[in-house]
Structure 1
Amino acid sequence: MSVEPAHTWINDHSKKPRVVILGVPKRETVVAALERLRPAIAEHAEIIAEDLDFSYDFSKAKPDLVIVLGGDGSILQTARQMGAQQSPVLGINCGRLGFLAALSPDDFLNVWPEVSRGGFKVVDHLMLQTSLIRGGRVISEQLALNEAAVLGGPPYRILDIDLYADGALATRYRCDGLIVATPIGSTAHNLSAGGPILRRQLQAIVISPISPHTLTYRPLVDSADTVLELTVTEPNESTSIVVDGRILSRLLPGDRVRIERAEQTFQMLAVSGHDDYRALRDKLGWGGSVPVKRSSL
């Protein structure tokens, strides 16, 4: 599997980069961080918008960089808000986990002068295009940064989900739901469902059944270029296709969900000293050994 190379995010070093600042609405830590960081950002960049309610229209003016104040949920919302107009993102953690928003406010102040000069690289991450097909036409679609999932909902009963890969039937799952995750999303819902962790730059997807009704159904890693289609034989009253934690649509009998590589990629600045393995250790408590209590006998 290939790994996409990093590239610089700013072309004209003679001009200040144009920056949009996004943040979680009505959160004290975000407001405090913005007040603290605004002078430093303005010293090295042109702030074209400050948006603390996620309403900025990226189709009107595309910035050189988007600075996100918040946590991983804010990063997902930013990707959704940018839609087809993806710009490089730098996340500042004002939340709890901060797996994607890796920088603390102090870290940001230390690296910002270098970042504003284009000193950091930006890495393209896989996104998925999720389309709901009903009656032979696409009625709804959404970009996914983490995952697209078919989830059951009440009344709770097992689902029969047919999976097609590049037009051919792969298998029928009997399970409570099915997750198709990107490498970035492999540490989210997929991980909780027992799926594997992928390095973020891999061009691959993970297909993970939720509570499958057989021991033979295991999570599967496939190429990001595979086009998947999902159908639910008898959906429940609230069976839905959920994209990055938000319901795209309820599923009806005969609906098809198509999941494929999106034309857009999520562009994230690579932060020096913050790699995938460090994130696993620091954020998810991934360790190389298990503490052992030794007997005094």
Structure 2
Amino acid sequence: MGAAQAKTKRVVLYGDGRRADVMHAIAQVVPLLKEKAELLHVCTDQALDLSRIRFDLLINFGGDGSILGAVRSMGANQAAVAGVNFGKVGFLATYELPGLLASLDDILAGRVSRQESVIQEATLIRSGGKRSVFLAVNDTVISRAAKSRVVSMRLSIDGSYVSTYQVDGIIVSTPVGSTAHSLGAGGPVLEPEMDAMVIAPICPHTLAVRPMAVPANRQIEIEVIEAETEIGVTFDGQVFEPLKTGDKVVVTRFPHRFILLGGGTETFYHNLRRKLLWGGHIEHSAQQAWRP
């Protein structure tokens, strides 16, 4: 019965075909998958519109950035993601290739940990009324150009005015993105499955402004009040749109969630210690002292 169920899984492989190591890894996975599941696509140019395909599992060969792009491409058609790490940090790409090969049966049978996280839906409203909608898995960041002046921005939550900031920018982060750009702006670390968002001003020109966490069901509106400089909004650090005075960005919770396989609480805190050096390094031997 288990084998029959595994064969019903519809799988897409997703990776950068320009990388020899990625293509070598995909070549090892393909014959195994054909025995155990229905392999729908091997996408090596990352141009496939994943929102138009019905499938159950995406195996991503790359780094965290590649996963972010794949999740946005899926849109409302969110399938579970297993990430094989060919990047640097690998917070989301939780498997190395040998681990994926060893765990493939368990992944297809649903016997691995499953983490579901908030995705942002950001609506860009131009001063003339035109609207465009974007998704973000990590964060939506409104910021000035490197050599520009500070920008005045107004923040409202659920229609209630919060404050007007003189800042270099504002980050609205998901829990998954709380260990990315938001962390560098002094934002808190959130567990990935928390139903919340972080609002973190970038270099505010006052000591009174601090990052804050709000429930994910809030509507977060940021309006550019005055920008005598270059300014734009970036989604996951990958998609950029220029902004001007009077433009607004409204961030809400997307109805669908990002599903990551092989994550979970233990993996999250392990990654904080090993990849972000959380709390310094603790030796395994009880007789070794803590060292920073």
Give the TM-score taking structure 2 as reference length.
0.90
Q: Does the CA contact (< 8 Å) of 1:65 and 1:89 recur in 2?
A: yes
SS in 2 for 1:233: strand
Deviation of 1:189 after TM superposition, in Å, equals 0.6
Task: Say whether residues 1:261 and 2:253 are aligned partners.
Answer: yes
- List per-residue Cα deviations over 1:97-119 (Å, max 9, x = no partner): 11100100011111111111222
Q: Does the CA contact (< 8 Å) of 1:92 and 1:102 recur in 2?
A: yes
Work out the CA distance in 1 between the residues paired with 2:13 and 2:231.
36
List aligned pairs for 1:89-104, cutoff 5 A: 89-104=81-96
Residue of structure 2 aligned with 1:40, choices 7, 10, 32: 32
Q: Which moved more, 1:139-148 or 1:276-285?
A: 276-285
Work out the CA distance in 1 between the residues paired with 2:128 and 2:81.
36
Q: Does the CA contact (< 8 Å) of 2:113 and 2:264 recur in 1?
A: no
Q: CA RMSD in A?
A: 2.1
Unaligned ranges ≥5, structure 2: 282-289
Change (3 A) 1:96 1:185: same
Unaligned ranges ≥5, structure 1: 1-9, 293-297
Q: Does the CA contact (< 8 Å) of 2:156 and 2:163 recur in 1?
A: yes
Change (3 A) 1:132 1:271: closer
List aligned pairs for 1:1-297, cutoff 5 A: 13=5, 15-135=7-127, 137-153=129-145, 155-271=147-263, 275-287=267-279, 291=291
Work out the CA distance in 2 between the residues paired with 1:139 and 1:166.
19
State the one-letter code of the partner of 1:214. Answer: T
Deviation of 1:257 after TM superposition, in Å, equals 0.9
Q: Which moved more, 1:106-115 or 1:179-188?
A: 106-115
Which of the two has greater helix per residue?
Answer: 2
Change (3 A) 1:273 1:105: farther
Work out the CA distance in 2 between the residues paired with 1:91 and 1:229.
32
Work out the CA distance in 1 between the residues paired with 2:162 and 2:265.
41
Change (3 A) 1:32 1:15: closer
State the one-letter code of the partner of 2:100. Answer: F
State the one-letter code of the partner of 2:54. Answer: K
State the one-letter code of the partner of 1:53. Answer: D
Q: Does the CA contact (< 8 Å) of 2:114 and 2:264 recur in 1?
A: no
Q: Does the CA contact (< 8 Å) of 1:65 and 1:88 recur in 2?
A: yes
Change (3 A) 1:92 1:239: same
Work out the CA distance in 2 between the residues paired with 1:274 and 1:93.
18
SS in 1 for 2:156: strand
Q: Does the CA contact (< 8 Å) of 1:233 and 1:253 recur in 2?
A: yes
Q: Does the CA contact (< 8 Å) of 2:6 and 2:37 recur in 1?
A: no
Alignment match, 2:287 = none
Residues matched between the structures, number? 282
Work out the CA distance in 2 between the residues paired with 1:212 and 1:167.
22
Q: Does the CA contact (< 8 Å) of 1:164 and 1:230 recur in 2?
A: yes
SS in 2 for 1:13: helix
